[in-house]
Chain A
Amino acid sequence: MKRLLMAALALSSFLFPLASAHHSAAMFDFTTTVELAGKVKEFQYTNPHSWLLVDVTNEDGSVTTWGFEAEGPSTLMRAGIRKNDLPPGTVITIRGNPMKDGRSAAAWIDAVVDGETINPRNGFAVIPAND
């Protein structure tokens, strides 16, 4: 319980920088949320930021590739999200704060895969080692 409480407190103190700890998040619109359903095209698991590319089929049948930005591998691992968890073809419903300029990219908020919610922003929670 103590560890969970500490993690929750630590997470709450990071609410702002979660948007992007490495660069200003000025390019995202944090007043808007997009929710899209599609299939994973590629998981670019890189520092300083990772990108999850998702192919979304539009109403007219065309396909748009969306990019969802998250933190790098170490932070994603702390959130329990590993590269092999999201191989190409994975069916996913994903939410993000979109770009202000209209391009098909967003700051990744969370996603649902096989009925399970994953949240990359949990990677900043401080889960302490056993003392």
Chain B
Amino acid sequence: MLLRKLVFTTLVLAAPTALAQDYTGWLDKDADWAASKARLQAFGEQFDSALSMYDFLYRQARGGDSLTWEQMQQPAYDWRGIYTRTGGGLSFDPDIRANETTAQLTPEGAAVRQTKIDRILETGGEYDPISDCRPPGFPRWATEPFLHEFIVTPDQTWLINEMVNDIRRVYTDGSAHTLPEDAYASANGDTIGFWQDGMLVTHTMYLLSGQYQRGTQPDYSDQVEVVERWKKVDGITLEADYWVFDPVNLAEPWYSRQSWTELDNDDNYLRLRYWDCRENQNNDILQKDDGTSQFLDFDFVDDDAAASSDNEIQ
């Protein structure tokens, strides 16, 4: 078992990488952000895969830093507090509007997106799988609003969204990814990472297909993999570089800078609360034949079928 793990780790770390890549460290989101963003996009485009990019970053960091519990009080690792996404709405890239994308799509990816656009234009709506409390999945996870908590320990970092009690675990104890023969695709996949000078670098794989967001945002395939670099840039702001690789839908890796802001919570009323669609009958959502959404039975309407003009309710 140990031998298999070592072999897989060696294979991962020896994955082919482009030669002589230019390393691009953390760039602040300042007045020169457009130029910095272009550099970060170009940095990602040097790599054939997320794994080769992660391998390069890992070697560049010489395997990363070993953290101790004493360091957890330092500002770089103290991520305590209640956060929410800083902005971006339903756009995966927060710099643009929800009906736009900065992704360089393959013809297949563009066709899928166009199908979504056409369907919305035709029906005026859509159905979102999260309506019945299924997880949004990753990388869509980054776009979800609501409350977040981030728990940093020397060996693991937990990235938590209130919505559907959604926790991503980042293993920073030196573990390799789950072995391929043991792996299976899941909503949040399998994430490993390391620390470098207060920056958390991660790689995620074994993911399910999904959409970056509903509306006109693109889809991703089950071959999607993601490299992230997280950093606490000031006392209340966490930012993360995202490079998404998806050979099916993306012609080039898709770079974006995600951000979360610690919320004012002086009275301590804000906290992450359990999330279960069955808590309230009035939250039952039906997927209609035309691909849009409808409420099922309300507990405050005596005869929903009689009161509704909707064929699917009747």
Q: Which residues of A contact B (CB under 8 A)?
A: 3, 9-10, 13-17, 21-27, 41, 44, 46-49, 51, 53, 65-67, 69, 72-75, 77-78, 82, 99-105, 124, 126-131
Contact = CB atoms under 8 A, between A and B. Distances in A.
Interface of B: 81, 84, 86-90, 98, 123-128, 130-131, 133, 144-147, 162-163, 214-215, 234-236, 261-265, 269-277, 279-280, 282-283, 285, 292-295, 298, 300-301, 304, 307-310, 313
Given A67-B282, A67-B298, A23 B293 contact: yes
A85 to B, nearest CB: 12
Contacts of B309: 100-102
Contacts of B298: 67, 103, 105
A104 B300 contact: yes
B89 A13 contact: yes
A23 B131 contact: yes
Contact of A22 (B163, B276, B295): B163
A23 to B, nearest CB: 4
A3 B307 CA distance: 45
A26 B123 contact: yes
A81 B105 CA distance: 43
B293 A47 contact: no
Contact of B272 (A23, A24, A74, A124): A74
A130 B265 CA distance: 9
A14 B308 CA distance: 30
Nearest to B276: A47
Contacts of A49: 280, 282-283
B293 A24 contact: yes
B234 A131 contact: yes
Contacts of A73: 273
Given A22-B130, A27-B294, A74 B273 contact: yes
Nearest to B267: A77
A20 B292 CA distance: 14
Contacts of B215: 16
Given A27-B125, A126-B87, A101 B294 contact: yes
A65 B194 CA distance: 55
B283 A129 contact: no
A78 B163 contact: no
Contact of A26 (B147, B275, B282, B293): B293
B308 A101 contact: yes
Contacts of A21: 144-146
B105 to A, nearest CB: 22
A129 B81 contact: yes
Contacts of B126: 24, 26
